Each structure stands twice: as C-alpha cells, then as structure tokens.
Chain A
Amino acid sequence: DGGITQSPKYLFRKEGQNVTLSCEQNLNHDAMYWYRQDPGQGLRLIYYSQIVNDFQKGDIAEGYSVSREKKESFPLTVTSAQKNPTAFYLCASSRRTGGNTGELFFGEGSRLTVL
C-alpha cells in the first residue's frame, strides 16, 4: 500500500542532542513537508520541498534542518539550537502539478520528548 512512513514513532532525547526524524513516501509525490503540532496551536510548517535537492523554510524553521537527496525521503534534524523541541512532528507529501500541489497526505507522526 502507498503511504508515508515516519520513524521512530516515539523518541526520547537529552537536552543538547541532535535528533533526526525519518520520513519516507512511496506515493511518487514531488512535494514533501514537515509540520510541528503543539496542543492548541494547530500545525505549523517547519520546512517544505517541492523538488529533489531543493527546500524552503516554513514559518518556524529555526533550530531545524532538512535534506532532500531522494524523491522519496525527507529527513528532519532537530538540532540543539531548537529551544523547545518537545512536540509531535508530522511529515506530509503531495502531488505537484504546475503550481498546484493538491491534497496533503500525512504520516502517523513522531513524538519527540526532550528530557
């Protein structure tokens, strides 16, 4: 079945450590996204990529980094510079037809807790 796989589902880390969250999709979608979800704040865009080897900052990119070396993969690194990293992280993808990327398909999320 096609879909988006995020791993790990749960992750605990100590303060000051970098953490990398994995996101893989087999939907053959061009565009991929990382959102952060906090209670009462909805989903906020961290980074997005519309094509391999290119990505753009979203609204809350500080303290995060990404890479897009393959169409199907878009890992997110939460660096030690992120001041409040404990959150639920969601990866998504969408088709890209010209400028209209269409519906977002989400993974099941990764819950990061920094101790």
Chain B
Amino acid sequence: QQQVKQSPQSLIVQKGGISIINCAYENTAFDYFPWYQQFPGKGPALLIAIRPDVSEKKEGRFTISFNKSAKQFSLHIMDSQPGDSATYFCAASTASNTGKLIFGQGTTLQVKP
C-alpha cells in the first residue's frame, strides 16, 4: 500500500513532441505528489509538485495532471527538448511528513533532436 508505481521505465520522444509519464498509488493518505528530475551523475531536483485539491498544475512546459478517484497522476512535458533528457521520478507522501517520500521506479527520457 506504500508503493508508487511508475511507467514507462523508458521513453524516447522526438524533439517537439509530448512526453507523458504515469504514476499510480494505493495509499489514500498520500496528499503531496512531487516530480523530481535527475541528470546523470547528479542528485534529483524538484521539478513540480501538486496537492490533491487541484486536478492540474502547470509550470512552463511541465504539467501535472491528478486524478484523485483513480489514484493516478501524470507528468506531461510539452514541446520536449533534448535538454529534457533525464530520469524522472514521481513520488508521494503525507502532508504530515512531506520529506519522507515514497518514490516511483523512475523513467529514463530520451529526446531525440
């Protein structure tokens, strides 16, 4: 019940295309859902986060869509660029301890020029 399942494991997208990464969770106590971006040899960095009181959050080319009833959330990267090539992790936690994150398995995104 503590798991966060992420798919796909890897993704190849052409420059300018839309990248979509999906995550699903079971624990209904989760109410903080961040996405982290990690470049090779570096630590992850927060990209965007959402709380379940909204169904969508957009920051530039990055959008989180959240479906509370289905217990799913997804990251959309519009107009994908080669510089977006990285590993993306979804995560979840409860509001009482948002630092204790449960991470998905990660998605390696390659954006081809």
Contact = CB atoms under 8 A, between A and B. Distances in A.
Contacts of A35: 103
Interface stretch (A11-19, A36-44, A77-85): A36-44
Contact of B99 (A43, A48, A59): A48
A92 B100 CA distance: 11
Contact of A103 (B34, B42, B97): B34
Contacts, number: 66
A4 B36 CA distance: 17
Please tell me the size bucket of the interface on B.
20 to 34
A101 B6 CA distance: 24
B99 A107 contact: no
A45 interface: yes
B99 A31 contact: yes
Contacts of A75: none
A102 B98 contact: yes
A1 B98 CA distance: 25
Nearest to A3: B43
Please tell me the size bucket of the interface on A.
20 to 34
Contacts of B99: 31, 33, 48, 50, 92, 94, 96, 101-102, 104
Contacts of B43: 4, 90, 92, 106-109
Given A40-B9, A41-B105, A42-B104, A106 B96 contact: no
A99 to B, nearest CB: 4
Interface of B: 2, 6, 9, 34, 36, 41-46, 49, 89, 95-101, 103-106
Interface of A: 4, 31, 33, 35, 40-45, 48, 50, 58-59, 90, 92, 94, 96, 99-104, 106-109
